[in-house]
Chain A
Amino acid sequence: EVQLVESGGGLVQPGRSLKLSCAASGFTFSNYYMAWVRQAPKKGLEWVATISTSGSRTYYPDSVKGRFTISRDNAKSSLYLQMNSLKSEDTATYYCARHGSLGYIAWYFDYWGQGVMVTVSS
């Protein structure tokens, strides 16, 4: 069974940093592109970052480019999101998600974690 379990969320002050983690199991982690998607309270979904199978390629929307960094450790089947210079508008539930195809990128998500809440407030 595919499982994605996020951790590392919490309350953080504006301008500070936070690092999220996602522990994957039930599939060969190194074979899949992975992503982070967030959802502000009572709002819609926003893609935040994607990383290739090896970690050599990363993709971001303009809203977080330069502030967020996605990374992975295939030996540990773990995905990370380093978030710097946090703003109040980054307050959201952050989901770890698996891209839909084996070995190459398909731009949809076939498995999602349960999410972790990040609150940016003074």
Chain B
Amino acid sequence: DVVLTQSPATLSVTPGERISLSCRASESVDTYLHWYQQKPNESPRLLIKYASQSISGIPSRFSGSGSGTDYTLAISSLQPEDVATYFCQKYYSGPLTFGSGTKLEIK
């Protein structure tokens, strides 16, 4: 089965900073890769679908890119409310699985 590896596991950031989160697949997932945000004590929320497609209602500072095995979620100007754990997810070549997540903390 394809394994998703997210890095870093934790990231300490400053408001206003541009950040990039990585999700790497053990083999190609052909952009069948989606991103979610989970704030503390909340349910996950879909941010990006199919690697780079935007979702209605999600702030434009969130964007996705990538292909093959390497994918990135970017936040152009981090806001305090973006403190959360971010998960990638795939359904390609095996069961639907999630990455282990990247937790964003504010410095």
B interface footprint on A49-67 (CB within 8 Å = 1, 0 otherwise): 0100000000001100000
The answer to whether B87 touches A95 (Cβ under 8 A) is no
Known A-B contacts A44-B87, A45-B87; the reply to A107 vs B46 at CB < 8 A is: no
Chain B nearest CB from A93 CB (Å) reads 9
Q: Which of A75-122 contact B (CB under 8 A)?
A: 95, 100, 106-110, 112-115
- Say yes or no: is A46 at the interface (Cβ < 8 Å to chain B): yes
Contacting pair B46 A47 (CB below 8 A): no
Selected from A44, A45, A61, A106, the residue in CB contact (under 8 A) with B95 is A61
**In the complex where A100-B49, A108-B89, A110-B55 touch, is A47 in contact with B95 (Cβ < 8 A)?**
yes
Tell whether A44 pairs with B100 under 8 Å between CB atoms, given A61-B95, A112-B44: yes
Do residues B55 and A45 form an inter-chain contact, with CB atoms below 8 A?
no
Chain A residues with CB under 8 Å of chain B are 37, 44-47, 50, 61-62, 95, 100, 106-110, 112-115
